[in-house]
Amino acid sequence: MSKVRIISHGTTHDYEAFRRLVKRMCAHVERNEAGAEAYECFANETSGQVFWHEMYESADAFFAHMQGLDETGLIVELMQLYRIDTITSLVRVTDGRIDEALQRFGANQLHGAGGIVR
């Protein structure tokens, strides 16, 4: 199985509420998701710009993450505060279920076209 690594970009209209929610989400991931290798959020209070970087050890770990957010209601809260504009996959996605899951958010999806990482 290959890693799942994505970046999403969008905006929040309520920075403080978003920041509090992100703290709760990160605590949930830390406690419950051993397969989450990176779960980082970067935001600008003034512009509302948001970038998420997520990396999971496998598609199964990614789906466990999505299921956990659904079961806790965190995903509903997130989507009330965060509009996703773009989701970029940083690794080649070979599991069609991942594309289906990302389409749920209605974002334009980009995929790596080339490059090197050292």
pLDDT in tens, 27-86: 999 999 999 999 999 999 999 999 999 999 999 999 999 999 999 999 999 999 999 998
Please tell me the pTM assigned to this model: 0.86
- The answer, yes or no, to whether residue 106 has pLDDT greater than 90, is no
Per-domain boundaries in the chain:
4-111
- Minimum mean pLDDT range among 2-6, 16-20, 49-53, 79-83: 2-6
Nearest to 41 by CA among 24, 57, 58: 24
Determine the residue type at 55.
M
Q: What is the sign, positive or negative, of the torsion defined by CA atoms of 14, 85, 43, 28?
A: positive
Q: Considering the domain 4-111, what is its CATH architecture?
A: 2-Layer Sandwich (3.30)
Q: 59 in helix, strand or coil?
A: helix
As a whole number of angstroms, the distance between CA 28 and CA 48 comes to 23
Per the listing, tokens 């999505």 go with 66
Per DSSP, 57 falls in state S
